[in-house]
Structure 1
Amino acid sequence: MFIQRSPKPLAQAAPRSLTADVTAPTGQRMSKASAARPEQRRYTRVSGRTRQSHRDIPIELNPAALLPMNKETELKKAKRTPLLLLAAAACVFLVTAFMPRGLWVDGIKAVAEAAMVGALADWFAVVALFRRVPIPIVSKHTAIIPKNKHKIADNLAVFVQDKFLDVPSLVGLIQKHDPAQSITGWLTKPANTARLGDYVVKLTSGILELTDDVRIQVFIKDALRDVLAKVDLSQSMGTILDTLTKDGRHQELLDAGIEQVVALLREPQAREFIAERIVEWVKNEYPKMEMILPSAWLGEKGAEAIANAVNRMLEQISENPTHQLRQKFDDAAQKLIVKLKSDPAFLQKGEELKRYLVEGEALSTYVKDMWGELRTWLKRDLQSSDSALHARVMAMGQWVGRELAQDPALRQSLNDHLEEAARAMAPDFAQFLTRHISDTVKNWDSREMSRQIELNIGKDLQYIRINGTIVGGFIGLLLYASSRLFELLRLHMG
């Protein structure tokens, strides 16, 4: 007896093809029938040339744009059936009221009466959800959805929070879907990492277009100033040197410096420079010696002698770990560390240097130049077909995918961290989202909200009216049959 409607997918409910009258490029009007046909091309001769014209142009319309209109139409159609059933029951009741009484006439009349009662009762129940019904006494209990908008908002928010955003639900979702395995499978595909690189490039390009250079520079400068203001330069430099001198690592720096000096002295340009300085010194200090020895020869020999002497000394230092100059270097480094950490003069110099960096214009100029160069490089790289940023993101994504694929413990660790993050963030996130849901629903217009709900579920609610009419008529038939049966039993027993 009950009528149930099987929900139809949206794609099936929407029209398969939508056409419209349009004007073709030639100025001719297209009919709906011609628009539905496949595209036809005609070639005409114009001034000795062949011109291709399009007579029929198919028009594709988006069915989603017509959804509100479709829902409105479907709701009106759905309301017709229960209304027709009510009208039919009323007509049957009126006809039987003027007919001579009899068993069948009284039975049909009883069915019609009960069907009308069921239809009207369910009509009131459905309509009272969305709008006010001006019936005395009961009207205050109508328009339930518009009047209870705030309650609906709060209850909906609480329902989402308790059933979808609670910690057990989120953790169970992570455990069910294994996001680490999904990430691994996604990153191991080169097409996906290339797509990831495209997203990062587009995002970076958008950020560069939207950012204000002056504000970025001010932000970087303020951040550097905050860092410098909290740093004791003298103490920090002393700590750095102290770290470098541990295990003789500063001697490696000395060896590197010696290698550079030796390599420099082997260069012809360096020897020419030394020779020129010797000739200049001889001319200034001993002008008469130039009359005895040629200055060019003297400079060349002197430069060679000095370079060889320095080379021999540096080689001795390099080959002898206990050379006295190495010890001198150790002592000098230790003294400098002590002074940097405790000498008031060095501490004062450190504060002056920090004040100069924080308050001077040098930092602003440096930040401006640095950001300008970085921005220019990023723009050039992002516009390039072989972007370094894109390649780096792809390589990083593929590396992460390989590492996750090869290490089950790493995947489990990632899932564990995601679960911990869900446990830590779920309460705050749920509170934020539920508050957003509640505030959004409360800000809706009551009548518009009620109308939207009716458009979406009103069609299904009409089946309540249909079933109410049918069930009412069936119950009326049962009651009439029962009453007649009781009368027959009473007559028989009497």
Structure 2
Amino acid sequence: MRMVATGLLVAMAAVYVVSRQYVGLHPAVGYVMSFAEAAMVGALADWFAVTALFRRPLGLPIPHTAIIPTNKDRIADTMAGFLRTNFLTPQVVARRMGGMNLARAAGDFLADPNRRGTVGVRAGVAELFAEVLESLDPERLGEQVRAGLKSQADRLQISPLIGQVLQATIADRKHLSLIDATVRWAGLTLEANEPLVRAMIHERANALLRWTGLDERLANSVLDGLYRLLAEMLVDPDHPVRAKVEEGLQKLAHDLVHDEAMRTKVEGIKHEILNSPAVGAWWQGVWERLRRNLIATARNPDGALSGQLGGALAELGEALRKDPRLQTQINRFARRSAVGIANRYGNNLVRLVSETVKRWDAVTITDRVEGAVGRDLQFIRINGTIVGGLVGLAIHAADLALS
């Protein structure tokens, strides 16, 4: 477009030179020459105006030129103030979001993600999400996520929580299946390690028992007794050992909730686990697998939305589409959240805009603003050429009429 505008100026100059040679040949040539002459003036004037916005024309130190680079700091503050006043005030955000049904839009997308008009948006958001995950340092990001989870876990008192869960489990008699499973596990473990138990009994028996062979009978008696005990515990719900186990579980649940020493001990174990290097390494591996799965999901959203996950999201979308009360609650929450963000972080956002523009050098801000306006700048020059020529025609016609 710059070449077109410049070419039009050169063409007007050529027309002027040629028409000037034949001005007396015909009255119409005077109109052509006047049009070309005025068009050159208009083209040069608008070229100067456009150029003066971004740089000094021909490099000459003409006052009030290179306006944008010279005043970039003031422009940055003005842009920031404009954003803060017109976009990031709580009143503007609330009024704008008051007419938006975000819940219904989310429901439409979740219920039919391949609907026309949403495919491009979904692909763009997914690609952006994948690129953000790939660009961030995985170790540093994983460490930050782990630090955030660890901070939340540090503030959470897990001892009362475990105790309350255990109390509820005992009250609902759901602990009985756990005791049965433990008894079965003990029986299988004893069976798998029977040679080891026999060897321990033989080693601890005295020489007389080994000489008479009573150590083998002793081992058989011990193992038979253990097997019988486990079998009786499994078939008899009122077995005394089971009662002792249940009593111990009830006491443990009570101590986890009410005993300060127990709570302190559990919290100490929790802190040791959270600060363990092994847990940190484990979490880093979990986070890396999660990050790669998220990237793969973002790269292939159609595959991610198939199966049970896709069905669950579709059901959620239908609920959002058909339940006005749910829409009202979600929209109210979104509106309050947006207003809170604008009120709390609005100044930080506009300060970010202002400081970013101020850090740009003159060449950067010139290229970016000129590139953003783009072709329209050259249309100003083209329009100036045409309008100037038309004004020249009008002046020439008026001059002939008056003479």
TM-score over 0.5 for the alignment? yes
Cα deviation for residue 458 of structure 1 reads 1.1
- Inter-partner Cα distance in structure 1 for 2:213 and 2:347: 90
Structure 2 letter corresponding to 1:129: A
**Paired position in structure 2 for 1:186:** 109
Q: What are the equivalent positions in structure 2 for 1:178-217 lying under 5 Å apart?
A: 178-191=101-114, 212=137, 214-215=139-140
Aligned length: 376
Partner in structure 2 of residue 146 of structure 1:
66
Alpha-carbon distance between aligned partners in 2 of 1:147 and 1:201, rounded to the nearest angstrom:
40
Residue 255 (str. 1) matches residue 176 (str. 2): yes
Contact 2:107 2:321 in 1 (8 A): yes
**Hey, which of these two has a bigger chunk of helix by percent?**
2
Q: CA deviation at 1:191?
A: 3.5
Code of the aligned partner of 1:189: D
1:26-105 correspondence runs (5 A): 71-80=1-10, 83=13
Is the CA contact 1:196–1:394 (under 8 Å) kept in the aligned structure 2? no
Does residue 469 of structure 1 match 2:382? no
Q: Are 1:443 and 2:356 an aligned pair?
A: no
Cα offset for 1:250?
6.1
| Kept after mapping to 1: 8 A contact 2:35/2:388 | no
Report the TM-score, using the length of structure 2 for normalisation: 0.61
The one-letter amino acid paired with 1:157 is: M
What is the CA–CA distance in structure 2 between the aligned matches of 1:386 and 1:125, rounded to whole Å? 54
Q: Which residue in the other structure is 1:157 paired with? A: 79
CA contact (8 A) 1:161 1:431 kept: yes
The 1-side partners of 2:38 and 2:125 are apart by 62
Match of 2:314 in 1: 398
Q: Which moved more, 1:147-156 or 1:270-279?
A: 270-279
3-state SS of paired residue (1:191): coil
**1:409 and 2:328 are equivalent in the alignment:** no
Instruction: Please list the CA deviations of residues 166-214 of structure 1 after superposition, one character each: whole Å capped at 9, or x if unmatched.
Output: 6577666656675544443333335369989977886787667655565
Could you list the runs of 5+ residues in structure 2 that have no partner in the other structure? 53-59
Q: Which moved more, 1:112-121 or 1:426-435?
A: 112-121
Higher RCO structure, 1 or 2 (CA under 8 Å, sep 6+): 2
Q: Offset at 1:460?
A: 1.6
Please state if 1:369 is matched with 2:258: no
Q: For residues 316 and 91 of structure 1, do their structure 2 counterparts lie closer, same or farther at Cα, with a shift above 3 Å needed?
A: same
CA contact (8 A) 1:130 1:454 kept: yes
Q: Percent identity?
A: 9
Separation in 2 of the partners of 1:231 and 1:158? 39
Following TM superposition, by how much is the alpha carbon of 1:463 offset from its aligned partner in structure 2, in angstroms? 1.9
Q: Distance in 2 between matches of 1:212 and 1:124?
A: 53
Please give the alpha-carbon distance, in whole angstroms, between the structure 1 residues aligned to 2:246 and 2:44. 103
Describe the superposition over 1:43-80 as per-residue Cα deviations: whole angstroms up to 9, x where unpaired: xxxxxxxxxxxxxxxxxxxxxxxxxxxx1332134325
Q: What 5-or-longer segments of structure 1 have no aligned partner?
A: 1-70, 97-104, 133-139, 482-494
Mark the CA change 1:202 to 1:95 in structure 2 (over 3 Å): closer, same or farther. closer
- What aligned pairs does 1:235-274 form with structure 2 within 5 A after superposition? 236=157, 238-244=159-165, 249=170, 252=173, 254-264=175-185, 270=191, 273=194
Out of 129, 135, 156, which is 2:49 matched to?
Answer: 129
Larger Rg over CA atoms? 1
How far has the Cα of 1:372 moved from its partner? 2.8
Pair 1:445–1:85, CA change in 2 (3 A)? farther
Equivalence for 2:238: 315
Q: Is the 8 A contact 1:150 1:442 kept in 2?
A: no
Q: Matches of 1:442 and 1:386 in 2, distance apart? A: 41
The answer to whether the Cα contact below 8 Å between 2:180 and 2:234 also exists between their aligned partners in 1 is no
| CA drift at 1:405 | 2.0
1:11 aligned partner: none
Provide closer, same or farther for how the CA distance between residues 84 and 430 of structure 1 changes in structure 2, counting only shifts above 3 A. farther
